[in-house]
Amino acid sequence: MDDDEVCNFIAAKIIDRLGPSREIQKANNGQTALSLLKENISANRGLPDIILLDLNMPVMDGFDFIEAFTQAGFANNGTRIIVLTSSHNSSDVERVRQLGVRHYLTKPITLANLTAAIT
């Protein structure tokens, strides 16, 4: 999820190149993403394998999303969160690690760095 439509478009194109059987859902902020995840659970669609997450979004930022995702009990289901952000701030990297996220990529996204984080 990212509030930047261009970044969402590029990420979707890269994911499409990785395999044809992937469904992509988009959210422009963390609150919308949480609602979408809850809808998926209610409809028995389950949770995604991967969430691409920007840190700087309106309404609910990436840090708050990770905390809410964990508090909702979603963190232990195998979903991998990959932070994809423009922040090179070492304190952001450390905070993400403390929240249990292992993949931190800086924009611009590339096929090589996304593939490395996914595989």
Q: Which domain CATH number covers 21?
A: 3.40.50.2300
Residue 73: burial class (beta carbons within 10 Å; 0-12, 13-18, 19+):
exposed
Nearest CA-CA partner of 96 in 44, 55, 47: 55
Domains identified in the chain, total number: 1
**Domain range enclosing 37:** 5-118
Spans of the chain below 70 pLDDT: 1-4, 6, 8, 19-22
Q: Quick one: pLDDT at residue 4?
A: 67
Q: Quick one: pLDDT at residue 81?
A: 92
